[in-house]
Structure 1
Amino acid sequence: MNKIYGLLSCFVIALILSSTSCASRRYHSVSSPADYVNPFIGASTSVGAAGTYHGLGKTFPGATTPYGMVQVSPNTVTGGDNSPGYSYEHRSIEGFAFTQMSGVGWYGDLGNFLVMPTIGKLHTIAGKEDGTVTGYRSPYNKSTEIAQAGYYAVDLERYNIRVEATAAPHSGMLRFTFPQSKESRIQIDLARRVGGTAIQQYVRKVDDYSIQGWMHCTPEGGGWGDGDGNADYTVYFYARFDKPLKKHGIWSAEIPDDWKRKRDDVQSIPYQSRVAEAKVWPGRNELEGKHLGVFSEFETSQGEQVNLQVGISFVDMQGAENNFKKEIAGKNFDRVRREARAMWNTQLSKIALKGGTEDQKTIFYTSLYHTMIDPRIFTDVDGRYKGGDNRIHRNEGFTKRTIFSGWDVFRSQFPLQTLINPSLVNDELNSLISLADESGKGYFERWELLNAYSGCMIGNPALSVLADAYVKGIRNYDVSKALTYAINTSKRFGNDSLGYTPGALSISNTLEYAYTDWCIAQLAKGLNKRDTEQVYLAKSQAYRKIFDLEKGWFRPRKSDGSWEEWPENARTKEWYGTIESNPYQQGWFVPHDIPGMIELMGGKEKTLADLTDFFEKTPENMLWNDYYNHANEPVHLVPFLFNHLEAPYLTQKWTRYICDNAYSNTVEGIVGNEDVGQMSAWYVLAASGIHPSCPGSTRFEITSPIFQELSFQLDPNYFSGKRFRIVAHDNSADNIYIQRAVLNGKPYAKNYIDFKDMVAGATLELYMGPNPNKDWGIK
C-alpha cells in the first residue's frame, strides 16, 4: 500500500456514490446471471470515503471477458494510488485504455493504449483534473454512464460524443457516436501508463485503415510499485479504424535523457508542459520515440458512428494482428458485445441461485464476476506467450496466465476456483512452475505480474495454492518439480536460520512461513516422501517460538532471541511485528494447527472469549479498524475459527453480519481493496454457506448461507459429480442459525464438509431458525 493522492470530503463523496446502486441494470430486465452484474460496485479509489490510505475496492467499470487479456475501461486519473485508472467520484475522463488491473494498491500498472475521441483543436496531453494543466480531458455526464458485464458507455460533455466499449479475450472495441463536425478525431496516447509511463513506443501505418506498434514499459517508467515491482513488459497492438486514415499524424515529445520518468515525475508540471508542447507530424506514417501519440481526423455527420477495433498481445506485433483477426475482424460492435455477454453468462452460471433479495443477487453475481478477471490469459490465440526468460514460448497443455496476487488470493479466491474452475487452478500452477523454470530462479514468486518477480507482500502463498490443489486432486502439472520449487522457496524465504523470522515483520513472516511449510508437508505426504513430510511438519511449529507466554500473545522477536519491546496497546498497534495489520489480527493465523494455537492461547474458553471480544469491538460499518478488519486479508479465515471452538453458531452469526455490512450494491460496496478477486471470493463462499479455514486441507467449514438454494456446476474432467447443492430451508434475514443438517438424505452433525464429498455430487440441506442451536455441529 502507499501514499494518499489527496483527500476528498467524505460527505460529498457519499452523495456522489449513493446514486449508483443499480446503474448496471438500468436498461434491461433481469433474465440471466450477467444481468445481475454491476461493475460499479467497488469502483472507487477514494481515500476519503474509506477513511484510510488504503482506499476502497479499486475495481474498474469497463468491459472485459472472463479472465481476458483485454479490459477496455474509462480512465479518470493517472497519478496517485489509483490502480484501476478510474474512481467514481472523479468528474472527468482522460481516455479509454485497453489494459487495466483490478482492485490492487501499490500504485498499480497497465492502463496502456489510451484512446480519446475529440473535436476541435488537437491537444497532445490529457491535462489534470484540477485544471492546472489543460488538455483533451473531458467532463462526463454521470447519468449516462452504464456498466454491464462486457459493456460500458458514457457521454463526454465537452465534445458531445457518446462512447461505448466492449471486449473479446484478446481484443477490444470502441464505438463513438459523433456530432456533426468537420474536425472530429480519434487520438491515442501510446506513452500513457497507470502510475508512470511507457519509456519507448513505436507506431506505423499499415494501410489506409490500420496501424500497429508497441509500448515498452520498464521499472524506470514507474508502474507497479512505482518501479519497485520490477514490471518489464511490452504491449503490442494492431488497431483498425472503420474510417480511412486520410488525415492522420503522429506527435512526439522530446524527453531529455536525464529526466526521471516515474509516477510523480510524469505528473509534474515541467514534464506535462513538455508533452503539451510535443511536435506534431501531420501525415507521418512511422515513428519510434519516448512519448508518442497518434491521431486520425475526419468529418462526421450528426449521429455518425465510428468504430475502433484493437488486438492486443504481450508477445509481438504479429500476435496482436493474429488476435485481432481471430476474434473481432469483420464483426460489428453489437455482435462483439453479445459474444462477451454470452461468455459471462456461461461462466457465471457455474453457480445457480434461488432466493435472496435483488440486491443480494447483484452483490453475489458481481462478486463472482470480480473473481473471474484474474489470473488473466497471457497467451495469444496461437498458443504463444512471452516467458520469464523474455523469450517466446508455446503452451504445452495449459494456458499461460498472469497476475497472481498470492498473499491475498490463497485464502478464498483459489479455494473457490478449485470448486468451480479447477482447470484455471491447474493453469496457474503450470504458469508459476514455467516462470520458475524460464527465469532460472527455481522458486515460486509470491506476487507475479507479467513475469515480474515483484516481491510484493510476504509469505510463500504459491505453496498454499499448490497444496490446496494437490489434496483436491488437481494435479495436471509436474508435481515432483513443484515440490522441489516449493522447498527452494521455503529455503529462500522462511524460518530456517533461527526457527522463526526476526525483524520488523516478525509475527507476520513467522506465522505465514510456518503455515506454508505445513503445506509442503502435505504435498510431500501425497508423494510418499515421509522424511520431507516430517521435516516440514516440524518447521510448521515455528509459530510457537514467537508466542510470549507471559504476555499471552504473539510478539516480535529479535535475531538474538530476545523480545522486541512491548508497547502500550501492543496487540492493537498496527505494524507492530506485522504487515498491514496488528498482532491481534495477525495472531489468529495458525490455520494448520488450530488446536495447538488454542492450547497456547490458554485453552478453549479463554480463546473463545477473546475471539468473541475481537468481533464485538468491530465497528458496524466494517471499515478499516483495529479488530475484525475485513478490509484486509489477514483476518479472512478468522470467522471460521468458532467452528473449531465448539461454537459454530458464532461463525454463522458473524459471517452473515460481514456479508450484510462489508458488502453492498453501491460504489463503496467493497470495504477494502478488491485485491484481484479475494474480497469478492470471500463473499461468494461465505454467502454460499461454505469456506475453508485452512487451504491445503479438504475441510470446508459450514456456515449460514444467504440464499435458499445454491447449485455449483462441477467440471467432469476433474470430478465425478455433476452438481454440489446447498439447500437452506426456511432461510431468511432472521433465520440465520442452523438448527440441523442433512447430507445426501442422512442426518449430519458436523460443522464442516469434506471437499471430496462436495465434488462427488453431494446435497447439503440446512434447516434454519432465528435462535442458535448450540448443540448442532460440536461433535
Structure 2
Amino acid sequence: MVLFKNTAKLLILSSFLGITACTSTNTVNAELIPTDYVNPFIGASTSVGAAGVYHGLGKTFPGATTPYGMVQVSPNTITGGDNGSGYSYEHKTIEGFAFTQMSGVGWFGDLGNFLVMPTTGELQKIAGREDSIKGYRSVYNKATEVAKAGYYSVELTDYKIKAESSSTPHCGILRFTFPAHEQSRIQIDLARRVGGTSTAQYVKVVDDNTIQGWMKCTPDGGGWGNGEGSADYTVYYYAQFSKPLNNYGFWSADIPDGWTRKRDQVVGLPYLQRVSQASIIKDKKELAGKHLGFFTEFPTAEGEEVELKVGISFVDMEGATNNFKQEIASKNFDQVKQEANDLWNKELNRVKITGGTNDEKTVFYTALYHTMIDPRIYADVDGRYVGGDHQIHEGDGTFTKRTIFSGWDVFRSQFPLQTIINPRLVSDQLNSLITMAEQSGREYYERWEVLNSYSGCMLGNPALSVLADAYVKGIRTYDAEKAYQYAVNTSRKFGNDLLGYTPEPLSISYTLEYAYADWCISQLAKALGKEDGYKLFYEKGQAYYNIFDKEKEWFRPRKADGTWEAWPENARTKEWYGCIESNAYQQGWFVPHDIPGMVELMGGKEMVIADLTNLFDKTPSNLLWNEYYNHANEPVHFVPFLFNQLDVPWNTQKWTRYICEKAYANKVEGIVGNEDVGQMSAWYILAASGIHPSCPGNTRMEITSPIFDKIEFRLDPKYHSGKTFTVIAHDNNTKNQYIQKALLNGKEHKKCYLNFTEIAAGGTLELFMGDKPNTEWGI
C-alpha cells in the first residue's frame, strides 16, 4: 500500500509539473509506446468556474475503457447538474464506479449505469451529496489517483479501500483491496443514472457468485437532455463476484407514481430521504422495482482483494451473459488490464509521431485516445443489436452497429480524420445511421444520435456531410442509393426549402448549416450520376445569399415575412443573435463550400483578409470562450484554414500553431471547451499533423504547419491504395513555423493543399520550415 501511494504521488506530481512520468524512461532510440503518452485526466473537468462560461471545460471521464468499447468503468463524483461524464476533477468525493459513460458532451448527459461502490460498516442506501447529505460516497486521496489507457485506480479514504478498474469491449472489471473488517461490502445502485434515474430495475441471484438483471432508462427518468433527448434504452448485466454471496440483500425504495425523477429531483432532499428509508429485503433471490439496490457483505483480512466482473448488453440478458462468457469469464484483473493496454496500443499506432516535447506527445496521443471512444460499439459479440424500431436485429457481418453520433460537432474534424486512419469506422457509422432511418420508419437521418434516439440536439444536417465526404473519398460500403434517398428526405424535412432561408430563431446558423448540407447532397448526386439532383441541391447550397445584408455587409437573421431582425450596436459579436452557441462574427464564416462566393459578398479578398486578421488579433491568448476566434466551440473550427484559400497561407500556418499551443495542454484544463465526442481532439490531431479539411465533401485537404517533425498515418488497404502517408517537417521548431517549400514524393509541390487521393495513395509530404513567412509558396 505504501508503494502504491508513493508511486501515485509521483505520477500526479509529474502531471502537475507538465511531464508524463512514464515517458521519462524512454530512450532516444526506443520505440515509442503510445499508451505511455495517454493522460485521461486531460479534459476531465466540468467546472464552469475554470471555463469562465456556462459550458464548462472538457467533460471527459478518466476511467477505463477500450477503443470504441461499449463499457467504460469510471469513477463518478456527481449525479445531477450539467455533468455529462459523471466526473469532475475538482470534486472531493466519489460516489461509485459506473460501467457506462458519455465523453465530452455539452448537453445534460446520460448513461452512468450500474454504479458499484465498495464500503465497510453500516449500510448506506444513498450516495448522498458532497455538500451536505451523508451517504455511501467517500472522500478519495487525490495523490493516489492514477488514470491510464484501460486502467484507473484510487484510494477511497473513508473506507481505506483501494479501487481499480479495467475493461474489455463489452465487459468491465473492478478490483477492490479491503482493510481488515468484519463488515466489508460491495453495493450496487441499480437505479442510478448520470442525468436522473433508471425508472425500473430487475435483479436475480443466479448462483453463489452471480447476479443478473436489467435497468430500464426512459425519458421520464431524465438522462439525455434531461429527458428532452428522448433516450429510451435498457442496460442488461451479468455480474460475477470473486467472493461467494453468503450474506446478500436488496434495498427497494417506494417512489410515488407522481414524482418527477429527473436530474435535479433525484439529488433533492425529498427524493434522497425517500430512498434512505428503503426497506432491506434479505429473503428473496430476485426482485423487481422502481429504485433497487443490491449488496453483498463479507469479512475481509487486511489487503484482501475482491473482484467484480460484469458483462453489459443493450440487447437482452442472454446477450450480457454471452458477452461475459466470451470476453472476461476466464480472465483475472491483470489479464484484462494488459489486454486493454494492448488494444489501445494497436489502435493508437494508426498514427506515429517523431519529435515534439513529452507534453506535446501526451497531448497528441491523449487527443487520439479521445477520438477513439465514440462512435462506440452498440452490438453484442454475436452481432445482435437493438435497432431503430427498438426490436432486436441480427448482425449480418457487413458492419458493426455503433452509437453516439454527435453530428453537429464531429463532421468537421473527427470523421475526416477517420477517413484517413479508420475508414471502416466511417462505414460502420453510415450503415448505423442508414439502418436506423430505415428500421425506425422515419427514413431520414438524425443529427445527434444516442442509443437509437432521434434526440434533435443542435441543428443542421451533419450526417449528410459525413456521407458525402465518405463517398467522394471512396468509402462506399453501404447502400448508396438508399443513403442518397434518405439524404434527400432529410433536406426536405429540415432545410431552407420554404423560404430559401430559415427564419428566426437562430436564422444565421440554421440557414448556413442547411445550405452547406444541401451542397453535400449535390456532391453525392454528382458522384452518383444524378445530374438533376446535382443541379437542384447545388442551387439550394446558395441559400446563404438570402441572409446576407449588403447594407450591413454581414449575415443577418431574417424573419419569416422577409424583413430583417433589428441590428443591435454589437450585432456581430452578440452571442445568440441569430446563432446557436456563437455570434454572427463566428458563424458567418461558415460557407465552406463556396469561399469565392462568400468573399465576393463580403467585399473582396483584401477586406476579408483584414476582417479575419481582426478576428484573430482580438482573441484572448488563453483561447477560452470568447466573442472572437472561439476555439472552445465548433462554428469556427474551419476558419483558420480560410487563409489558405485567400492566398495568404502563412496565416493559416501561424494561427494553427498558435491554437495548438494555447487551446490544448497536458493538464486537467487542457481542452478549452467541451471535448464534444472527439471533435476538439480530432482538430488537434489533424492540425498538429499539418493537414486538415476546410470543407468535408470536398477532397481538398489544407496544408499547414505541423507540430511534429514526422507524422506517419497507417492506411487501410481495404479502402486505400497506399500503405502509409507521411508528413516530414525539416528544421521544425517553435520559431520555424512557416513553410518555405514542399516536396510531394520527392517532387516540388507548390500548392498549399493536397487532394485526398494523394494521401490515400500513400507517399511522403516534406515541408521545409523557416522562421519567416515565404509569401510566394502556396499562392
TM-score by length of 2: 0.97
Which position in structure 2 is the counterpart of 1:699?
A: 700
Please tell me whether the aligned partners of residues 206 and 212 of structure 2 are also in contact (alpha carbons under 8 angstroms): yes
Match of 2:615, SS state, is: helix
Residue type matched to 2:239 in 1? A
Please tell me whether the aligned partners of residues 15 and 666 of structure 2 are also in contact (alpha carbons under 8 angstroms): no
Deviation at 1:27, TM superposition (A): 9.5
Question: Is the aligned partner of 1:388 residue 2:388?
Answer: yes
Which position in structure 1 is the counterpart of 2:461?
A: 460
Question: Is the aligned partner of 1:652 residue 2:653?
Answer: yes
Match of 2:511, SS state, is: helix
Which position in structure 1 is the counterpart of 2:257?
A: 257
Match of 2:437, SS state, is: helix
Deviation at 1:26, TM superposition (A): 5.3
Which position in structure 2 is the counterpart of 1:5?
A: none
Deviations 1:611-640 (A, max 9, x none): 000000000000000000000000000000
Deviation at 1:17, TM superposition (A): 11
Please tell me whether the aligned partners of residues 54 and 672 of structure 1 are also in contact (alpha carbons under 8 angstroms): yes
Match of 2:213, SS state, is: strand
Please tell me whether the aligned partners of residues 17 and 667 of structure 1 are also in contact (alpha carbons under 8 angstroms): no
Deviation at 1:249, TM superposition (A): 0.4
Question: Is the aligned partner of 1:549 residue 2:521?
Answer: no
Match of 1:473, SS state, is: coil
Residue type matched to 1:169 in 2? P
For 1:188 and 1:767, how far apart are their aligned partners in 2?
58
Question: Is the aligned partner of 1:642 residue 2:643?
Answer: yes
Question: Is the aligned partner of 1:365 residue 2:365?
Answer: yes
Match of 1:117, SS state, is: strand
Match of 1:206, SS state, is: strand
Deviations 1:230-261 (A, max 9, x none): 00000000000000000000100000011111
Which position in structure 2 is the counterpart of 1:570?
A: 571
Cα separation, partners in 2 of 1:317 and 1:505, compared to 1, 3 Å: same
Which position in structure 2 is the counterpart of 1:423?
A: 424
Which position in structure 1 is the counterpart of 2:497?
A: 496
Please tell me whether the aligned partners of residues 622 and 662 of structure 1 are also in contact (alpha carbons under 8 angstroms): yes
Question: Is the aligned partner of 1:751 residue 2:759?
Answer: no
Which position in structure 2 is the counterpart of 1:3?
A: none
Residue type matched to 2:33 in 1? S
Match of 1:676, SS state, is: coil
Question: Is the aligned partner of 1:93 residue 2:83?
Answer: no
Which position in structure 2 is the counterpart of 1:403?
A: 404
Residue type matched to 2:171 in 1? S
Residue type matched to 1:161 in 2? I
Which position in structure 1 is the counterpart of 2:8?
A: none
Deviations 1:38-73 (A, max 9, x none): 000000000000000100000000000000000000
For 2:52 and 2:388, how far apart are their aligned partners in 1?
39
Deviation at 1:283, TM superposition (A): 4.3
Match of 1:68, SS state, is: coil
Deviation at 1:691, TM superposition (A): 0.3
Residue type matched to 2:474 in 1? G
Which position in structure 2 is the counterpart of 1:134?
A: 134
Question: Is the aligned partner of 1:584 residue 2:597?
Answer: no
Please tell me whether the aligned partners of residues 25 and 36 of structure 1 are also in contact (alpha carbons under 8 angstroms): no
Which position in structure 1 is the counterpart of 2:594?
A: 593
Deviations 1:634-674 (A, max 9, x none): 00000000001100000000000000000000000000000
Deviation at 1:395, TM superposition (A): 1.6
Please tell me whether the aligned partners of residues 198 and 216 of structure 1 are also in contact (alpha carbons under 8 angstroms): yes
Deviations 1:459-512 (A, max 9, x none): 000000000000000000000000000000000000000000001110000000
Which position in structure 2 is the counterpart of 1:193?
A: 193
Please tell me whether the aligned partners of residues 20 and 358 of structure 2 are also in contact (alpha carbons under 8 angstroms): no
Deviation at 1:19, TM superposition (A): 5.9
Please tell me whether the aligned partners of residues 14 and 20 of structure 2 are also in contact (alpha carbons under 8 angstroms): no
Deviations 1:520-557 (A, max 9, x none): 00010011000010000000000000000000000000
Match of 1:660, SS state, is: helix
For 2:470 and 2:769, how far apart are their aligned partners in 1?
32
For 1:444 and 1:496, how far apart are their aligned partners in 2?
17
Deviations 1:123-152 (A, max 9, x none): 00000001x221100000000000000000
For 1:52 and 1:80, how far apart are their aligned partners in 2?
15
Provide the alpha-carbon RMSD of the alignment.
1.2
Residue type matched to 2:425 in 1? L
Residue type matched to 2:35 in 1? A
Please tell me whether the aligned partners of residues 25 and 38 of structure 1 are also in contact (alpha carbons under 8 angstroms): no
Deviation at 1:104, TM superposition (A): 0.5
Deviation at 1:282, TM superposition (A): 2.1
Match of 2:594, SS state, is: helix
Which position in structure 2 is the counterpart of 1:533?
A: 534
Which position in structure 1 is the counterpart of 2:449?
A: 448
Cα separation, partners in 2 of 1:589 and 1:17, compared to 1, 3 Å: farther
Residue type matched to 1:293 in 2? G
For 1:614 and 1:17, how far apart are their aligned partners in 2?
38
Which position in structure 2 is the counterpart of 1:178?
A: 178
Residue type matched to 1:542 in 2? A
Please tell me whether the aligned partners of residues 22 and 36 of structure 2 are also in contact (alpha carbons under 8 angstroms): no
Match of 1:629, SS state, is: coil
Structure 2 unaligned spans of 5+: 1-11, 27-31
Deviation at 1:94, TM superposition (A): 0.1
Which position in structure 1 is the counterpart of 2:332?
A: 332
Which position in structure 2 is the counterpart of 1:350?
A: 350
For 2:159 and 2:285, how far apart are their aligned partners in 1?
27
Please tell me whether the aligned partners of residues 17 and 666 of structure 1 are also in contact (alpha carbons under 8 angstroms): no
Cα separation, partners in 2 of 1:399 and 1:201, compared to 1, 3 Å: same
Deviation at 1:265, TM superposition (A): 1.2
For 1:352 and 1:728, how far apart are their aligned partners in 2?
14
Percent identity for Structure 1 against Structure 2:
70
Deviations 1:150-181 (A, max 9, x none): 00000000000000000000000000000001
Question: Is the aligned partner of 1:57 residue 2:65?
Answer: no
Which position in structure 1 is the counterpart of 2:5?
A: none
Deviation at 1:24, TM superposition (A): 6.7
Deviation at 1:20, TM superposition (A): 4.0
Match of 1:80, SS state, is: coil
Deviation at 1:105, TM superposition (A): 1.5
Please tell me whether the aligned partners of residues 230 and 453 of structure 1 are also in contact (alpha carbons under 8 angstroms): yes
Question: Is the aligned partner of 1:167 residue 2:143?
Answer: no
Match of 1:43, SS state, is: coil
Question: Is the aligned partner of 1:619 residue 2:659?
Answer: no
Which position in structure 1 is the counterpart of 2:112?
A: 111
For 1:34 and 1:525, how far apart are their aligned partners in 2?
43
Which position in structure 2 is the counterpart of 1:320?
A: 320
For 1:27 and 1:415, how far apart are their aligned partners in 2?
30
TM-score by length of 1: 0.97
Deviation at 1:330, TM superposition (A): 1.3
Cα separation, partners in 2 of 1:710 and 1:27, compared to 1, 3 Å: closer
Structure 1 unaligned spans of 5+: 1-15
For 2:618 and 2:283, how far apart are their aligned partners in 1?
66
Match of 2:126, SS state, is: coil
Question: Is the aligned partner of 1:297 residue 2:291?
Answer: no
Match of 1:240, SS state, is: strand
Which position in structure 2 is the counterpart of 1:71?
A: 72
Please tell me whether the aligned partners of residues 141 and 156 of structure 2 are also in contact (alpha carbons under 8 angstroms): yes
Deviation at 1:284, TM superposition (A): 2.6
Question: Is the aligned partner of 1:771 residue 2:772?
Answer: yes
Cα separation, partners in 2 of 1:740 and 1:23, compared to 1, 3 Å: closer
For 1:458 and 1:395, how far apart are their aligned partners in 2?
31
Which position in structure 1 is the counterpart of 2:561?
A: 560
Please tell me whether the aligned partners of residues 410 and 677 of structure 2 are also in contact (alpha carbons under 8 angstroms): yes
Which position in structure 2 is the counterpart of 1:13?
A: none
Q: How many residues align?
A: 762
For 2:382 and 2:747, how far apart are their aligned partners in 1?
50
For 2:437 and 2:23, how far apart are their aligned partners in 1?
47
Match of 1:719, SS state, is: coil
Residue type matched to 2:721 in 1? S
Which position in structure 1 is the counterpart of 2:240?
A: 240
